[in-house]
Each structure stands twice: as C-alpha cells, then as structure tokens.
Amino acid sequence: MRRRDVLTGAGTAAATSSFPSPAIAQGVRQLTMVTDWPEGPGVLPSARRLAQTVADASNGRITINVTASGAVVRPFETFDAVQSGVADMFHSHIGYFVEKSPAFHFYSGLPFGMTAKELFAWVRFGGGQELWDELSARFDIKPLLCSSTGIQMGGWFRKEIASIEDINGLRYRMAEPGAEVYRRLGATVVVVPGADIMLSLRSGAIDACEWLGPWLDMEMGLHEVASFYYYPAWHEPGTALTLGINRRVWESLEETDRQLIKVAAAGEYAVSLAEFDTNNARALVRLHQESEVKFRRFDDEMLKTFAEISRSVVAEAGSTDALSQKIHTSYRDFRETAKGWSDVGEGTYLNVRDVG
C-alpha cells in the first residue's frame, strides 16, 4: 500500500498531528506504536506492558504511545504506517503482511512448525534474527519478537467435522498459512480483524473460526455461538508477535537504548507466554465446567492430510527468492534439531508425569 493510502485512511488527522515521528523534547524520546489489536485482555495489554517496561527501564527517557487497532490507521495497515514513517513502530502478527514476503510466515507460526520455545531459540541462537533483519531491511523495518500467545486450539466450528470432506465449502476465518491448507481442501477462507470475528460468526457470515486459545476465545464469547471446539492447533503451535520499528528511528537511537528495547521485548515474550499459559489453563477448566461446548480432537487421518498439504504450503513460502530459501532451510534444520530434544526431554516427561 502506498504512503498516501495510509495518510488518507481512518484516523489521518490523529496520525499527522499527533505523530511527529519521533518527537524529542528535553531529552525525552517520544515514540508511537500502532497495533492490530482491539481493546480487551491479552494482546493489547502486552503491547502496553512492553511500552511501560521501556519507559521504566529508561527512567522515562523513552516513552511509547500505544494505540488500539483502528485508532490511527485501519486494521492490517500498521506495517505500511511504520514503513512510511507515519508511525514509529507496530505490534502485530507478522503473518498478516505476507504480501510483502511469504517468508514472514517463518516468524509468526507455521503449520506443524516450532513451538513458542523452539521459535524463540531459533531466532535468538539459531541464526533466525540475522536472516529476519536482512529480510525486513528491504522494507526499512527492524523486527523483534515481542510477545507469544503460545500453543493455540484448532478452532471453533458450528457443526461437527467428522471427516476431511466436511471442510469442503466451509466458510472459515483463519490467518495464513493455515488458511491456505483449508483453501486447498475446498474451504472459503477469510481474514477478518479480531474485533469483527464474533459478529461474523454470529451472523453466519462464517461457519468456523480460530482466534487465540481458551482465554481470549471465551472473552470474545465464541463458546456462545459455536458448539464444537477442536484441537490440536496444528496450524499455529507457537504463535509469536512482532515489534516492528522504523529502521531510521531504530538507527537514530543510542546503542544502549537499542539494547534496552531488545531486552524489554525478549522479556515481554516470556511474560506474555506465561500469562497466556496461565489463563488458557484456567479458561479450559471453565469451559469444561460451565459450558455445553463439545471438545473434539482432529482424527489422525485428518491430521495426516493437514500435514501433507502443510509441507507443500511451507515449502512454497520458502521458495520465492534466495533469501526466502535460506530462511526456510535455517528454520527447517533448526526445527529438526530442536524436535529431537523436545521429544526426548519435555515430550517424554509429559507422557509419564502422572505415572503411578
């Protein structure tokens, strides 16, 4: 999207008058953050908590004004706003912006991909950040992992999905690249902003959807309009969110301040993951005890079909150019290495934790 399209979007007056990008007054750096998150618990508070951490750690020298989805630019226009300099940084799901590069998928959540812990390990210690920096530099963005919703659920359905054939003709809200898997199975897949999911499901505009997990799914009220809740979340096993900073703004910061923001983002990744794990566990208990929701596990044959198509979808995301191929290879190799330890370590322990 072109810069003038951003400037003529919703909230233009606020964007042009309130965002000097960045302002510097009496030694205080005032930055602006646009997000793709509606008001409510979970994700937007994580963005605000990150901003507060930066302000506290800098003793107020760096302040970040965080805005909800639609307050300054329209949903899903946050990347363009930061690239063009309308805003200084965004907090979003980088997978929303794969029209820029399909390789962004590797930094959000891939079908049958890495868990939240494995993804963070790859980015921090497996070469993922360096490749991400190279990719994002094409768009004048400095990217950092900044939040994690952890493992999700397989989605809400208004009717039971007894076989893979039942997906054909389904109208489903899902983010890419899992959406492409369903699309190849005959579903009509759309991505609507989080704030519009409930209305779309209630009105019948969609037949099924996925959002984040038991905690925020219940907060949205999805259990009131859909009866079947499926697992596992093969499409997003460890969803990460991105802090994207305008590169000129990033490079104008002192090295100590850049390090401060890196540490704050990494800390918020861990804190948000702990928060989601805690509240998802509690919400799952409530769903079992207080609702009529029917929990269903995708059967093995369906999961095999999902996995087979996913391999093709992921390979295509990692084949658009030489850099995408490097990212795909790095991700794939690290996943295989991490999988060995995850299976032997935590995986085996979880299987025997309640023995005896």
Domains and CATH numbers, the chain: 3-147+239-278 (3.40.190.170)
CA-CA distance, 356 to 354, in Å (whole number)? 6
Mean pLDDT of 155-170: 95
Q: Which one is predicted more confidently, 7 or 172?
A: 172
Which tokens sit at 259? 């390090």
What pLDDT, on a 0 to 100 scale, did the predictor assign at position 190?
87
Mean pLDDT of 326-353: 96
Mean pLDDT of 110-128: 97
Predicted confidence band of residue 175 (pLDDT cuts 50, 70, 90) = confident
Selection from 11-20, 24-33, 277-286 with the highest mean pLDDT: 277-286
Enter the pTM of the model.
0.89
User: Does residue 91 register a pLDDT over 90?
Assistant: yes
Measure Cα distances from 341 to 24, 233, 336 in Å.
47, 21, 9
| Contact assessment for residue 187 and residue 168, using Cβ atoms and an 8 Å cutoff | yes
What is the percent of the chain where pLDDT is above 70? Answer: 92
Measure Cα distances from 13 to 19, 90, 162, 326 in Å.
10, 19, 51, 42
Per the prediction, the chain carries an average pLDDT of: 92
CA-CA distance, 288 to 24, in Å (whole number)? 52
Q: Report the range of poorest mean pLDDT among 23-32, 65-74, 192-201.
A: 23-32
CA-CA distance, 353 to 339, in Å (whole number)? 19
Predicted confidence band of residue 130 (pLDDT cuts 50, 70, 90) = very high
What pLDDT, on a 0 to 100 scale, did the predictor assign at position 83?
98
Predicted confidence band of residue 26 (pLDDT cuts 50, 70, 90) = low
Core vs surface per residue 54-77: b (16+ CB within 10 A) or e: bbebbeeebbbbbbbbbebbbbbb
Whose tokens are 């897949």? That residue is: 189
What pLDDT, on a 0 to 100 scale, did the predictor assign at position 329?
98
What pLDDT, on a 0 to 100 scale, did the predictor assign at position 21?
44
